[in-house]
Chain A
């Protein structure tokens, strides 16, 4: 078996496989690998040692068969179940959420409607109240005005009657005064009738 070892312990370099192992392929040539001593590996490169093939094949068949059965019968259905359950649950939850959303939207709409009608109602009440109050105050004002006008008319009538009475008094005083003046001037009282005529003429004139 070709085998060299450098003084500094450089790794062993193998160029070719030993011809002593028929049926085995050469080791990866050109790659730095150490060829093991024949007694260690029973000759040849272990992966190409055909003696081990039957054992490996049988155990692989058993092990891989067992793996396939365990996976297809137990492990994979189990995981598939979990995933399916989650998928269903998520779908259910989404459905539920959509339902709740629709409900809340309906509630919001109803609320909006109630709010709108309440607002309209409030507006109506306000208008009504304002109108009522305006009418009431109008009526009050009118009655007050009428009252005031009546009082004014009464006052005016009183003024007019007072004025007439005063005017009548003025004539009497003028007649008396004129009689007295004439009496004083001529020393003789004039006839009452002529004085009254004179005064009436003066007043009219």
Chain B
């Protein structure tokens, strides 16, 4: 399976144990490449933001501009979807956005591990969002939070159906939130690997293959551009949906 390891598009998602921590309580624990990349992302984000703002200059340089733009971009997203009240969740939304964004972009580096291509990671992030919505919603509004599931202005005979639909839509939120990000990153990376594998295989067949490889090469280039777009877009979508769900916690009445 020598050529198999070259064109194996799943290999990039493999979790590799760096430090095996044994099985405390029957649970397999290890410090893995995934964990290393998570900490790398956190360090990258933190050091970038502090390094970029080290001068605290009135007229920002390039790096400081970038830091300020990311701040203001997320802040305006939060304000426009959840209002000024939503700004109390700004650190959470910013952390989610920047984590997903940097994880997606780091994943675009060849040989790098894409943290967001693992559904357990995206699901955990989605549960953080929904958990925040539920906990804050009940803490702030008590049982009034349940009005979220009771749309107003609906005829009485339709109300039970509407409540069922609202509950299902609420429960499907964390699923769609996590699956969207996971599936986008997974499918994109697999597609890139598959077409890159075609190039390797075609060039291996000889001179004719070199010319034939132009087509998958163009495809890989196009996919790379698309994946950069998807990386940024999915981070934005995640942040916007987080804001929309948090807005429900702030204003449960329809």
Q: Which residue of A lies closest to B187 (CB)?
A: A28
Residues 10-21 of B, flagged 1 when their CB comes within 8 A of A and 0 if not, give 110111000001
Q: CA–CA, A54 to B32, complex, Å?
A: 11
Determine whether the beta carbon of B32 is less than 8 Å from that of A68.
Answer: no
Q: CA–CA, A28 to B187, complex, Å?
A: 9
Stretch of B118-126, B133-141, B156-164 at the chain-chain interface: B118-126
Q: CA–CA, A78 to B47, complex, Å?
A: 13
Determine whether the beta carbon of B190 is less than 8 Å from that of A28.
Answer: yes
Q: Which residue of B lies closest to A73 (CB)?
A: B91
Determine whether the beta carbon of A33 is less than 8 Å from that of B35.
Answer: no
Determine whether the beta carbon of A34 is less than 8 Å from that of B4.
Answer: yes
Q: CA–CA, A75 to B7, complex, Å?
A: 42
Determine whether the beta carbon of B91 is less than 8 Å from that of A72.
Answer: yes
Residue A66 lies at the interface, judged by CB distance under 8 Å to chain B: yes
Residue A46 lies at the interface, judged by CB distance under 8 Å to chain B: yes
The one of A67, A72, A81 in contact with B99, judged by C-beta atoms closer than 8 angstroms, is: A67
Residues 1-36 of A, flagged 1 when their CB comes within 8 A of B and 0 if not, give 000010011111000000000000001100111111
Q: CA–CA, A27 to B32, complex, Å?
A: 22
Residues 62-97 of A, flagged 1 when their CB comes within 8 A of B and 0 if not, give 011011101110111011111101100100000000
Determine whether the beta carbon of B27 is less than 8 Å from that of A70.
Answer: no
**Which residues on the A side are within 8 Å of B64 (C-beta)?**
82
With A52-B15, A78-B50 given, is the CB distance from A31 to B35 under 8 Å?
no
**Which residues on the B side are within 8 Å of A54 (C-beta)?**
27-29
With A45-B10, A48-B119, A56-B118 given, is the CB distance from A68 to B31 under 8 Å?
no
Residue A49 lies at the interface, judged by CB distance under 8 Å to chain B: yes
**Which residues on the A side are within 8 Å of B21 (C-beta)?**
55
Q: CA–CA, A40 to B14, complex, Å?
A: 9
Determine whether the beta carbon of A51 is less than 8 Å from that of B28.
Answer: yes
Nearest first, the 7 closest Cβ-Cβ pairs linking A and B are A59-B35, A72-B91, A63-B38, A75-B49, A46-B13, A9-B201, A52-B15
Residues of B within 8 A of A (CB): 1, 3-5, 7-11, 13-15, 21, 27-32, 34-35, 38-39, 41-42, 45-46, 49-50, 53, 56, 58, 60, 64, 67-68, 71-72, 90-92, 94-95, 98-99, 117-121, 124-125, 128, 182, 186-187, 190, 194, 197-198, 201, 204-205
17 contacts between A and B (CB under 8 A): A11-B201, A27-B10, A37-B4, A52-B28, A52-B34, A55-B31, A60-B38, A60-B121, A61-B124, A64-B99, A67-B41, A67-B95, A67-B98, A68-B95, A74-B46, A79-B68, A86-B58
